[in-house]
Amino acid sequence: MFRSRAKEEKAPAADKAPVNFSKQTRDPQAPKGRPTPKRSEAQAQRRSVANTPTTRKEAAKRQREERRTQMERQRQALASGDERYLPARDKGPVRRFARDFIDSRFNIAEFFLPMAVVILVLSMVRVGYLQNLALLLWLVVIVLIVLDSVVTGFRLKKRLAERFPAENKRGAVAYALMRSLQMRRLRLPKPQVKRGERP
């Protein structure tokens, strides 16, 4: 009397559904629609589900630990030159070639910092001709660095076009020139080629 109409409509449809009474068993070699996971993969998946953080505090702690691990890997990669864990700006064959090109030669720009200290000391001495000498040295150093950077940039651009015609070379020359401003022992990633060695 109070039965739902929807149930009554579903009942005959269920009766009409074909029932498969086949006594054939499934062939064990037959595909089941997905590959069986390896034991190590299944265990790792179970572990990841078990270790899923339940609170915000645990999630934040895990995130900090992961970030610390990633930063440590990145620091080691910068020291060893391992491409897998380098920051995005240092990755790729184009950037590696640009680094090697700069590291394989003497650059006037890399001596900018020591020369700047010498010039600063000379300019602080209260002797007229030494202050004039400091000003002249400052101008000479800046002109030499600009000329050296222009020549280096032109050569590097040419070598990159020859070596990597199909690769994206955007920003590689600026990246290399910024590296040339750093003293060799302070450069990161660490130089992988000796001076005079052709990259």
Write the CB contacts of 101 (distance below 8 Å, at least 6 apart in sequence). 156, 159, 176, 199
Do residues 133 and 122 touch, judged by C-beta distance below 8 A?
Answer: yes
Question: CA 176 to CA 171: how far, in whole Å?
Answer: 9
Q: If you average pLDDT over residues 168-185, what whole number do you get? A: 93
Question: CA 66 to CA 143: how far, in whole Å?
Answer: 47
Write the CB contacts of 144 (distance below 8 Å, at least 6 apart in sequence). 108
Write the CB contacts of 176 (distance below 8 Å, at least 6 apart in sequence). 98, 99, 101, 102, 152, 153, 156
Going by pLDDT thresholds of 50, 70 and 90, the confidence category of residue 49 is: low
pLDDT of 3 over the 70 cut: no
Do residues 191 and 79 touch, judged by C-beta distance below 8 A?
Answer: no
Would you give the DSSP letter of residue 36? Answer: P
What is the helix (H) or strand (E) element at residue 176, kind and residue range?
A: helix 172-180
What confidence score (pLDDT) does residue 33 get?
64
What confidence score (pLDDT) does residue 85 get?
83
**What is residue 33's three-state secondary structure?**
coil
176 to 14, 38, 41, 107, 144: CA distances (angstroms): 73, 46, 43, 11, 17
CA–CA–CA angle 139, 140, 141 (5° rounding): 90
What confidence score (pLDDT) does residue 28 get?
59
Task: Choose the weakest-confidence range: 24-38, 43-57, 131-145.
Answer: 24-38
Comparison of pLDDT for 48 and 161, the residue scoring more: 161
Comparison of pLDDT for 51 and 124, the residue scoring more: 124
The pTM is what?
Answer: 0.66
Q: What is the pLDDT of residues 114-131, one digit of tens each?
A: 999 988 988 888 888 888
